[in-house]
Amino acid sequence: MIFLYLLLNTKNKTWRCVFIVMKIGIISDSHDDIINVKHAIRIFNEYEVNYVIHAGDYIYPGIVLEFKNLKKNIKFVGVLGNNDGEKIGLVKSFTTIAGELKGDFGELKLDDELFGIYHGTNDEIKKSLILANYYDIFICGHTHKKDNNKINRTQILNPGSAHRNLQNDDVNKIASVIIYYTGVQKYEFIELDKSG
């Protein structure tokens, strides 16, 4: 949520506006890389994000349990990826940590910004969702390639793969996550270097 506080200084009758924005951590394609998942969680905690959104491909349900190490006030939301075959185990893991697994596709409204979340398995579905011009932010994964294109009103955010060994070109050679700032609609890619 964006909070706008108007503060009145009673001595000199001046007003001051204070904006508070949410910070959203975005991760995808962790593919059982527990080292980089732990590193990403440390980053999300350091940035004091309000939400962490995972765009799928956890693989092993136990990797989801690592997100219990997020600070208590951080909400964890995710969707399924094409490699997430243990769906019952993933649902149980999300339930155990009080996270929210939305299925193959999810929506969130945060600070009057509508987020669409889809792993990106089917390119036609992904393209249709983006070109519908319905979402402010469209979070995806699957390609293991960073993406921050904007099409019409929709800002596409793909953090690339969070796994250390799944990068597939020079631009995407280091695993990464994204920190997104609502209200100001800014974002930054944070690399998960090999030192973890």
Domain containing residue 33: CATH number: 3.60.21.10
Mean pLDDT of 70-96: 97
Q: Within a domain: residue 8? A: no
User: Using CB atoms within 10 A of its CB, is residue 22 exposed (0-12), middle (13-18) or buried (19+)?
Assistant: middle
Q: Within a domain: residue 13? A: no
Average pLDDT in the chain: 90
What is the total count of domains within the chain? 1
Stronger pLDDT, 171 or 58, i.e. the higher one: 58
Q: Within a domain: residue 84? A: yes
- Predicted confidence (pLDDT) at residue 96 exceeds the cutoff of 80: yes
pTM of the model: 0.89
Q: Within a domain: residue 58? A: yes
- Predicted confidence (pLDDT) at residue 121 exceeds the cutoff of 50: yes
Q: Within a domain: residue 44? A: yes
Q: Within a domain: residue 124? A: yes
Q: Within a domain: residue 39? A: yes
Q: What is the domain extent for residue 132?
A: 23-191
pLDDT at 18: 45
